């Protein structure tokens, strides 16, 4: 295999929501950019994560609504779903246009794309293995944006190896049949979203979660709304699972587990493992570059995303913080500015989190639990969705919007939304926290009527003591 030597200005390893955004922004700032991608343009999020999972959620909602629309006076009979056609729509009408669009944007911004696997030779050189051989690249700057991969359970007390019917998220999103009984290991963001989707498709769903509650990052009153919906839809949630072992058969999988010390067994035709992800740093030969890692295998970085080696940066899932696509994109823009000579720093006061359960949940800034344990007694304003005309017209009255304000200056420091459109509504509240707004700023912002966004005005007016609608 012949090795070719080339010099590059800035090399970005990975083309996910962190890598491709960093590449485009850096190119806009005048840099010559090379992206190295071993698999998907657009990364896990676009190809086998965020986007396809929301496509499944949307399709599940459509199917469920087609069957259960009697409340609107709409009666449907003999409703059927062609699951393979749905998968084709997801792949050909959602994923492919977006991946082609990202590749087109990279080319339009003169970003060079090398298809191959990169590893460090030293602090200034990479070895890239392609189908045509090896290529050595000398770089001025390198950005590690290699993302993460699913955790496989191979060690006691959880031994659930991947197989034909034990699948990770990628496999779960590409199942070609509707499972009669789907067992989901892990009740986090992905597990709860796909539990709702497959339940809407008609699957019996069982969630096994090791923690005392599902989607544990959210406040209890938000989680209770999702649990209530799961009960109504027949989704079984089992928490405090302390051990689990799988036995795969030709037609299904048997899971033997312990929950709160009680041994039990559950059998399904598929098991979806969504217990977390780990950073893709183990194949980069980072030790040859001298890049330091944390105990969890993530890059040690400064507030300017610099690793311990000058000229090498990290963004997204490979650096500390939660593994969110929007976090990776935010850091991608920052690192492009920093490499281009800017003085930007990671300082987002508000990193929103959203989960597409039923109802949708979103949170940003301080949580209610944090406010309750704080030495400062924060002002809490909670406005119910059932008092909003648009929520009622959608037949989605469950949920609320909550604002958390600092008592001294009345600035908004946290917010939570549960209900229709929560993932979109949280953006205005993230802006309010970043811009250090007070309740009056939101109350005086005119929101169109009738909209879900009017709940922001209502929650703000409630915080001021001048509520009109509640």
**Per-residue b or e along 377-398, where b marks 16 or more CB atoms closer than 10 Å to that residue's CB:** ebbebbbbbebbebbeeeebbb
Task: Please indicate whether residue 449 is annotated as part of the active site.
Answer: yes
Write a three-state SS string for the chain.
CCEEEEEEEEEEECCCCCHHHHHHHHHHCCCCEEEEECCCCCHHHHHHCHHHHHHHHHHHHHHHHHHCCHHHCCCCCCCCCCHHHHHHHHHHHHHHHHHHHHHHHHHHCCCEEEECEEEECCCCEEEEEECCEEEEEEEEEEEECCCEEECCEEECCEEECCCCCEECHHHHHCCCCCCCEEEEECCCHHHHHHHHHHHHHCCEEEEECCCCCCCCCCCHHHHHHHHHHHHHHCCEEECCEEEEEEEECCCCEEEEEEECCEEEEEEECEEEECCCEEECCCCCCHHHHCCCECCCCCECCCCCCECCCCCEEECHHHCCCCCCHHHHHHHHHHHHHHHCCCCCCCCCCCCCEEECCCCCEEEEECCHHHHHHCCCCCEEEEEEHHHCHHHHHCCCCCCEEEEEECCCCCEEEEEEEECCCHHHHHHHHHHHHHCCCEHHHHHCCCCCCCCCCHHHHHHHHHHHCCCCCC
Candidate list 181, 447, 449, 469, residue with the active-site label: 449
**Per-residue b or e along 27-46, where b marks 16 or more CB atoms closer than 10 Å to that residue's CB:** beeebebbbbbbebbbbbbb
**Cis status of the peptide bond prior to 225, with omega within 30 of 0:** no
Q: Catalytic positions, please?
A: 449
């Amino acid at each position: 295999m012949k090795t070719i030597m080339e010099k590059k200005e800035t090399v970005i390893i990975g083309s996910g929501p962190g890598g491709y955004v960093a590449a485009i922004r850096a190119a806009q700032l005048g840099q010559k950019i090379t992206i190295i991608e071993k698999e998907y343009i657009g990364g896990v999020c676009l190809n086998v994560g965020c986007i396809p999972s929301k496509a499944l959620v949307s399709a599940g909602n459509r199917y469920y609504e087609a069957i259960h629309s009697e409340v609107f006076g709409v009666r449907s009979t003999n409703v059927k779903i062609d699951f393979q056609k749905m998968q084709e729509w997801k792949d050909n009408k959602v994923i492919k246009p977006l991946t082609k669009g990202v590749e087109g944007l990279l080319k339009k911004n003169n970003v060079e794309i090398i298809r191959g696997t990169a590893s460090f030779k030293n602090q200034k050189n990479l070895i890239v293995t392609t189908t045509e051989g090896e290529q050595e690249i000398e770089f001025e700057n390198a950005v590690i944006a290699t993302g993460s991969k699913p955790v496989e359970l191979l060690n006691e007390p959880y031994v659930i190896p991947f197989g034909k019917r034990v699948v990770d998220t990628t496999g779960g999103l590409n199942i070609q049949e509707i499972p009669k009984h789907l067992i989901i290991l892990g009740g986090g963001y992905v597990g709860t979203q796909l539990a709702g989707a497959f339940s809407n498709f008609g699957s019996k769903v069982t969630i096994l979660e090791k923690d005392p509650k599902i989607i544990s990052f959210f406040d209890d009153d938000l989680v209770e709304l999702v649990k209530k919906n799961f009960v109504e839809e027949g989704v079984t949630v089992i928490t405090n699972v302390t051990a689990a072992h799988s036995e795969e058969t030709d037609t299904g999988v048997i899971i033997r587990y312990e929950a709160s010390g009680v041994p039990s067994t559950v059998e399904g035709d598929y098991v979806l493992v969504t217990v977390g992800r780990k950073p893709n740093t183990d194949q980069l030969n980072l030790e040859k570059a001298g890049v330091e890692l944390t105990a969890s295998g993530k890059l040690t970085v400064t507030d300017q995303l610099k690793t311990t080696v000058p000229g090498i940066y990290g963004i997204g899932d490979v650096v500390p913080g939660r593994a969110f696509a929007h976090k990776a994109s935010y850091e991608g823009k920052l690192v492009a500015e920093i490499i281009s000579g800017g003085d930007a720093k990671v300082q987002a006061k508000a990193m929103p989190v959203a989960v597409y359960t039923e109802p949708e949940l979103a949170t940003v800034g301080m949580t209610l639990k944090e406010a309750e344990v704080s030495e400062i007694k924060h002002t809490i304003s909670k406005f119910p969705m059932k008092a909003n005309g648009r929520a009622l017209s959608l037949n989605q009255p469950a949920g609320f919007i909550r604002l958390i304000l600092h008592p001294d200056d009345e600035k908004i420091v946290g917010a939570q939304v549960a209900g229709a459109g929560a993932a979109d509504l949280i953006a205005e509240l993230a802006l309010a926290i970043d811009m250090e707004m007070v309740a009056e700023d939101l109350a005086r912002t005119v929101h169109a009527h009738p909209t879900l966004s009017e709940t922001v005005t209502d929650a703000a007016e409630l915080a001021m003591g001048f509520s009109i609608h509640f």
